[in-house]
């Protein structure tokens, strides 16, 4: 088992070190200085393994300390609330954290810990719910480790880890709480037995019904009150009489023997369990489906897996009818592409439009409510949100820069681009005629126009929603401001429609598996994200200034982008 644990760590950190070398070699310029032979340097990887183990221990310690901190804070809050006569008194006082009785705090913290650790023990299983899914996959599917030994080593490591981490913590806590020191050891023994029992329960459940607790909805229904009770129970029911419990209960020979017997029974069951392979394979199969579905998630929620799912939205009628026969060449190809994918794209657009219409719907309801009250709408809103800045039209328009951030996420550019790649270009890029300058520029133009049309549907919805809100609140629209606002929205639509497609053509970051292999692409997208955040939090300018600046920037971007497209795309637009 020790060898298996060591092998598991070596595999994990070898993969990690290979990944690190791979990433380093992809850094422009610097990467060329990193030799491929580094993959074969096992001494270097041993260093990674040691560093990795230290990292795991460090992370485990950090998590443990974070858990302890949560319990400590819970203990402080509950102890102080109890001393001050109630939670509201605690929250309302300016001296909530004065004169803390740490002995009392430890008793409260321990009470919570008891709930989580003993009552919640059956809900916890390192095997089925723990971390390290990729490591499970590597060891079971690739290294062909004996699944029983591997599973047992995971459980063994987890228990050892808990013993090492909890022992000093419990000794300190017990000392502060004025509880006997031997109580910490007994508690740890019973805790370990309970955890082993929890693992056993999950294994047994899987044997009986093919599912573990994590797959049974009822366990979540039970888990929520357990965890809530852990935090709030001591407040309502008081701390556990831990001294009595230890002196009269835990110290009794019967309890000690029962704990040992339970622990040994659990160990025996774990040792002789026959279904580890099935359990781990099922877990990995479910996780693989999950990872495939959520692979390459981007800020816009566009994933390659999602982009490939267009076909369930295609209508299979009328395939014989060639409604684009009047078109030819790439115009024909692109027309069919967007037509066949329309249902898929339409859902994306519709979802976004409905989200942007929601504020209008809320205001309409408020307007109806105001009518019933007999008040003008703006007064109703002012009454509901008393500290809002008076909702003059200009103030509303001055929030337009925030829409830059919102549209960076709402733009369908990313999902359309991914669909273009995964369903069309990934195949067509193999043909040299598809990569000529003329073809690339022609297809870029027609695709850009489609994406711009889609995004303009979204920005038009935003415009309509905003105008509707303004009319309902103020009873009129300032036409000039509305026009500038519409221009700003159109400029943003033009920008985001161009951006994803332009980066795709000029960088072409995807490989044949659909993975984004370009660090440059990721860096640029990261930069765009930072820029968008600035518009959300920092950039505050009036509508007119914002629109002039935005239109100017978009025009420059499109011009420069078009030149770069002509220069770079013919060389770079190919399959990685």
Partner 1 sequence: MILKVEGLTKHFDKKTVLENASYDFGQGKIYGLLGRNGAGKTTMFNCLVGNMTPDSGEVFMDFNEDGNIRTATFDDIGFVFTDPHLPEFMTGQEFLKYFIDISKDKIKDNVDLDQAFALIDFDNTDRHKLIREYSHGMKNKLQMLAFLILRPHVILLDEPLASFDVVAALQMKNLIESIKKDHIIIFSTHILPLAQDLCDEIVILHNGKLSALDPEKMNDKDFEEEIVKQLTKEEADD
Q: By the criterion CB under 8 A, which residues form the site for partner 1?
A: 36, 310-311, 314, 316, 319-320, 322, 325, 328-330, 332-333, 336-337, 340-341, 423-424, 426-428, 430-433, 439, 574
Q: Which is nearer to partner 1, 428 or 487 (CB)?
A: 428
- Between 316 and 476, whose beta carbon lies closer to partner 1? 316
Closer to partner 1 at the Cβ: 34 or 406? 34
Give the integer Cα–Cα distance in Å for 20 and 39: 10
Report the residue number, 42 or 311, with the smaller CB distance to partner 1.
Answer: 311
Distances (CA, A) of 281 to 106, 141, 278: 42, 8, 5
Output the smallest distance, CB 45 to partner 1, in A: 19
- E strands, 274-378, are none
Smallest gap from Cβ 31 to partner 1, in A, equals 12
Specify the residue, 131 or 430, whose C-beta has the smaller distance to partner 1.
430
- Residue 341 or 352: the one with the smaller Cβ distance to partner 1 is 341
Q: Name the minimum Å distance from CB 168 to partner 1.
A: 51
For 339, other C-beta atoms within 10 Å of its C-beta total 12
DSSP label of 211: -
Which of 155, 143, 158 shows the shortest CA–CA distance to 64?
Answer: 158
- Scored b (16 or more CB within 10 A) or e, 423-437 reads bbbbebbeeeebbee
Element (H, E) at 228: helix 217-237
Least distance in Å: CB of 521 to partner 1?
22
Tokens 């809900």, residue?
Answer: 123
DSSP 78-93: HHHHHHHTSHHHHHH-
Backbone angles phi, psi at 76, to 5 degrees: -65, -50
Q: What is the nearest approach in angstroms of partner 1 to the Cβ of residue 46? A: 24
What is the closest distance, in whole angstroms, from the C-beta atom of residue 345 to partner 1 in the complex? 13
Contact 341, 419 (CB under 8 A): yes
Q: How near is the Cβ of 571 to partner 1 at its closest, in Å? A: 10
Read off the tokens for 543.
Answer: 């509508």
Residue 424 CA to residue 433 CA, distance in Å, equals: 14
Task: Report DSSP letters for 516-548, one per residue.
Answer: B--HHHHHHHHHHHHHHHHHHHT----HHHHHH
Judged by CB, which is closer to partner 1: 323, or 522?
323
Which residue lies nearer to partner 1 by CB, 144 or 326?
Answer: 326
Residue 419 CB, shortest distance to partner 1, in Å, is: 9
């Amino acid at each position: 088992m020790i060898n298996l644990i060591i092998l598991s760590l070596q595999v994990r950190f070898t993969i990690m070190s290979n990944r690190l070398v791979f990433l380093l070699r992809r850094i422009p310029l610097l990467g060329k200085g990193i030799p491929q032979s580094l993959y074969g340097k096992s001494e270097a990887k041993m260093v990674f393994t040691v560093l990795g183990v230290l990292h795991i221990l460090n992370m485990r310690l950090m998590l443990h300390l974070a858990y302890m901190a949560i319990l400590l804070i819970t203990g402080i809050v509950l102890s102080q609330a109890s001393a001050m006569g109630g939670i509201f008194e605690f929250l309302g006082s300016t001296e909530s954290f004065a004169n803390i009785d740490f002995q009392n705090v430890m008793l409260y913290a321990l009470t919570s810990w008891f709930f989580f650790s003993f009552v919640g023990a059956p809900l916890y299983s390192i095997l089925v719910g723990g971390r390290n899914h990729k490591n499970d996959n590597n060891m079971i599917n690739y290294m062909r480790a004996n699944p029983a030994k591997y599973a047992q080593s995971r459980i063994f490591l987890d228990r050892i880890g808990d013993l090492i981490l909890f022992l000093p913590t419990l000794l300190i806590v017990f000392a502060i709480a004025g509880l006997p020191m031997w109580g910490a050891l007994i508690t740890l023994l019973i805790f370990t037995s309970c955890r082993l029992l929890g693992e056993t329960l999950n294994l047994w459940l899987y044997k009986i019904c093919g599912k573990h607790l994590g797959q049974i909805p009822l366990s979540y229904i039970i888990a929520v009150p357990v965890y809530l009770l852990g935090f709030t129970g001591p407040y309502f029911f008081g701390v556990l009489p831990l001294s009595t419990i230890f002196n009269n209960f835990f110290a009794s020979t019967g309890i000690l023997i029962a704990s040992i017997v339970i622990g040994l029974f659990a160990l025996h069951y774990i040792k002789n369990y026959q279904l580890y392979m099935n359990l781990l394979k099922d877990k990995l199969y479910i996780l693989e489906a999950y990872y495939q579905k959520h692979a390459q998630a981007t800020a816009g929620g566009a994933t390659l897996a999602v982009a490939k799912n267009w076909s369930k939205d295609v209508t299979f009628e009328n395939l014989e009818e060639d409604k684009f026969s009047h078109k030819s060449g790439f115009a024909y190809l692109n027309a069919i592409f967007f037509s066949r994918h329309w249902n898929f794209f339409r859902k994306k657009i519709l979802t976004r439009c409905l989200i942007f219409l929601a504020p209008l719907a809320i205001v309409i309801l408020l307007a109806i409510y105001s009518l019933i009250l007999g008040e003008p709408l703006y007064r109703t809103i002012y009454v509901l949100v008393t500290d809002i800045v008076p909702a003059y039209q200009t103030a509303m328009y001055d929030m337009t820069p925030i829409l830059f951030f919102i549209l960076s996420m709402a733009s369908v550019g990313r999902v359309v681009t991914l669909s273009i790649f995964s369903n069309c270009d990934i195949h067509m890029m193999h043909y040299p005629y598809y990569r000529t300058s003329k073809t690339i520029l022609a297809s870029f133009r027609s695709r850009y126009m489609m994406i711009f049309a889609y995004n303009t549907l979204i920005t038009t919805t935003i415009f309509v929603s905003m105008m509707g809100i303004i009319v309902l609140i103020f009873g009129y629209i300032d036409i000039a401001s509305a026009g500038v606002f519409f221009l700003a929205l159109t400029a943003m639509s033009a920008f985001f429609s161009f951006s994803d497609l332009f980066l795709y053509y000029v960088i072409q970051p995807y490989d044949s598996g659909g993975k984004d292999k370009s660090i440059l692409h990721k860096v640029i997208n990261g930069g765009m994200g930072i820029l968008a955040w600035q518009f959300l939090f920092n950039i505050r300018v009036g509508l007119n200034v914002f629109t002039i600046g935005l239109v100017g920037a978009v025009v420059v971007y499109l011009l420069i982008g078009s030149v770069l497209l002509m220069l770079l795309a013919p060389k770079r637009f190919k399959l990685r």
